[in-house]
């Protein structure tokens, strides 16, 4: 095991401990590496940890979360998504946040439902891990310079757009978001290792450093968890496609219509 992984593991654990200690924590849980590590570490320091997965019946994340929660030994709840309420969820998210970006709205559907359903005041996520540890598929094959620029741009977008949307939702539902992968100390630790530490080693080698951290943390099975973007893993993207097909419109057109309805005078 590399000393890099041990340094990052220690920094991540310190961040999680600082954020969850003495609190009752809900984890927006996909069953994957990012939220799995947050859950595993949080369970050592929080008063309680409960995992919540919002998804359609039979969706990838629901299947994965059910099995991984058992291996972590943590309580898990499936928040069932249904096609009939999906458009209303998007309308509510637009009303609360003012977000008009179709990708953000689709990606954030599971978190919207977790925050609306869980009783805990503090909701932890794995947000930021893909940016910090170069986990996106588009990063594969980039040079060190290209990866540095792409990663910096995505981290800026995360802070200036995605996080703003999530904070608006959290405020509305009276929750506090906990995002350990976005903590400054952890970011500085990872960045201090140099871009080579997070460069993907081929298509199947993304987030290799974070997978080593899972081994250090004693949850090596998380390193094998298959990753899907939230809108796909939850089944929301497929449901939105069906809704749009039935209405004879594209998804972007659906979002434009919802945003126009929000702006229309009453």
Element (H, E) at 17: helix 3-20
Taking CA atoms, 30 is separated from 88, 125, 146, in Å, by 23, 9, 29
Q: In what order do the strands lie in the sheet with 176-178?
A: 75-80, 48-55, 24-28, 122-124, 176-178
- Could you give all domains of the chain from N- to C-terminal order, each with its CATH number? 3-261 (3.40.50.620)
Taking CA atoms, 57 is separated from 53, 75, 80, in Å, by 11, 19, 7
Q: What is the pLDDT of residue 237?
A: 92
Give the C-alpha separation, 129 to 12, whole Å. 11
pTM assigned to the model: 0.93
Q: What is the pLDDT of residue 264?
A: 60
pLDDT tens per residue, range 227-237: 777 788 899 99
Q: What is the pLDDT of residue 202?
A: 60
Q: What is the pLDDT of residue 1?
A: 54
Residues of the chain short of pLDDT 50, as ranges, are 266
Q: Which of 31, 55, 66 lies closest to 231, judged by CA? A: 55
């Amino acid at each position: 095991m590399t000393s890099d992984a041990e340094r990052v593991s220690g920094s991540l654990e310190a961040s999680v401990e600082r954020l969850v200690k003495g609190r009752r924590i809900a984890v927006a849980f996909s069953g994957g590496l990012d939220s799995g590590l947050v859950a595993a570490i949080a369970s050592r320091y929080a008063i309680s940890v409960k995992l919540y997965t919002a998804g359609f019946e039979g969706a990838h994340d629901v299947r994965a979360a059910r099995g991984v929660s058992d291996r972590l030994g943590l309580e898990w709840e499936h928040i069932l998504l249904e096609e009939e309420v999906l458009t209303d969820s998007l309308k509510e998210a637009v009303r609360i946040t003012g977000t008009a970006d179709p990708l953000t709205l689709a990606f954030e559907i599971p978190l919207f439902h977790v925050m609306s359903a869980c009783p805990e005041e503090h909701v932890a996520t794995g947000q930021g891990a893909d940016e910090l540890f170069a986990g996106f598929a588009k990063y594969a094959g980039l040079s060190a310079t290209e990866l540095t620029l792409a990663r910096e741009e995505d981290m800026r977008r995360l802070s200036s757009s995605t996080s703003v949307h999530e904070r608006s939702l959290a405020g509305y539902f009276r929750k506090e978001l906990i995002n350990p992968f976005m903590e400054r100390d952890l970011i500085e630790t990872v960045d201090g290792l140099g871009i080579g530490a997070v460069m993907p080693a081929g298509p199947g080698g993304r987030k290799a450093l974070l997978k080593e951290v899972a081994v250090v943390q004693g949850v090596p099975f998380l390193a094998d968890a298959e990753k899907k973007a939230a809108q796909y893993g939850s089944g929301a993207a497929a449901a939105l496609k069906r809704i749009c097909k039935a209405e004879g419109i594209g998804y972007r057109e659906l979002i434009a219509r919802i945003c126009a309805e929000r702006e229309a005078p009453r």
